[in-house]
Amino acid sequence: MMEKLKYIFLLVPIIMACESDFTLKNPLPPSLEALDYIPDNYIGRYICHSDSSIIYISEKAITVETKSVFESSINNIQETENCSIVDGGLYFPGKKECIPFEYISEDSIRAIVWDLDTLIDLSSKLDVIKHYEKVMYVNKSNEQDHWLCWTVEHFDNGILKVAILDIPTSRDSIELIAESYETVLMSNGKSKFILNPDFAEFKSMIDMKLFNEFEVLEPINLEFQKTIKQAGKGDKN
């Protein structure tokens, strides 16, 4: 249904704009209060098994740091709007600093680009986190107050497992999951279901195994943190 963790939260507005087959009327679990802070046992630095992105979890936010390699000819850079070479560095729109680069041929360069993106910000009304039976439920909304939900489960070895709610979107399946739902017709002619499960139906969703694991986050110990940091400095120099 979707790609890995570093794309999931960033793609929520796009997924919803592209009219996904289902959303939620309210954050899960229903009737439980939202948390003001992320629980202590989740806070830390983690590495994604799928692509080695670094996840930072603090009391109020979840952010992801990603590394990408940019290669281009000098001519293409000069022809691209808002992209230029300034004082020996590569300037991108939205970047506060010029990025160092190296020549890979007479007319082509390569640069290592580091990005830090906010996935969840509890100061935003569009991000809601709840906790139930040792599992953190991460809910993210768009402007229409439609929600998608992920779970993050903490294990004794420090590993976090991330799962996404994935619901079969036939009408028969929807009626088995939630008695209360709305149906709207999307621009592509398909029906979109907006579910509003009660607490008993939410528990049934867990029993039906509708939350499918798609990512594992491993905590970064101090020694490994030093290795990552040194590698990062090497790439940025």
Question: What residue segments make up the domains of the chain, in order of their start?
Answer: 5-66+121-236
Which single residue is written with the structure tokens 């209060």?
Answer: 33
Q: 202 by DSSP, 3-state: which? A: helix
Winning range, highest mean pLDDT, from 176-185, 186-195, 217-226: 176-185
Tell whether the model's pLDDT for residue 161 goes beyond 50: yes
Provide the pairing of β-strand 147-154 with 135-141.
Answer: antiparallel
Please answer whether residues 92 and 72 qualify as being in contact, where contact means their C-beta atoms are separated by less than 8 angstroms: no
- The tokens for 29 are 């679990």
Question: Which amino acid makes up residue 118?
Answer: T
Tell whether the model's pLDDT for residue 80 goes beyond 90: no
Mean pLDDT of the chain: 80
Closest to 165 (Cα-Cα) out of 130, 139, 131, 127 = 139
**pLDDT by residue (tens digit) across 32-49?**
999 999 999 999 999 888
Tell whether the model's pLDDT for residue 150 goes beyond 50: yes
Tell whether the model's pLDDT for residue 84 goes beyond 90: no
d(CA 196, CA 181): 6
- pTM of the entire structure? 0.74
Tell whether the model's pLDDT for residue 129 goes beyond 60: yes
User: How far lies 200's CA from each of 7, 52, 205, 207, in Å?
Assistant: 31, 37, 9, 11
Say which residue, 222 or 109, is predicted with more confidence.
109
Who contacts 214 (Cβ-Cβ below 8 Å, separation ≥6)? 2, 4, 5, 8, 162, 163, 164
pLDDT at residue 226, as a whole number: 45
d(CA 150, CA 58): 18
Closest to 121 (Cα-Cα) out of 133, 138, 106, 135 = 138
Provide the pairing of β-strand 211-219 with 160-165.
Answer: antiparallel
- The tokens for 166 are 């994935």
Please answer whether residues 141 and 25 qualify as being in contact, where contact means their C-beta atoms are separated by less than 8 angstroms: no
Tell whether the model's pLDDT for residue 29 goes beyond 70: yes
DSSP output for 71-96: EEEHHHHHHSTT-EEETTEEE-TT-S
Q: 57 by DSSP, 3-state: which? A: strand
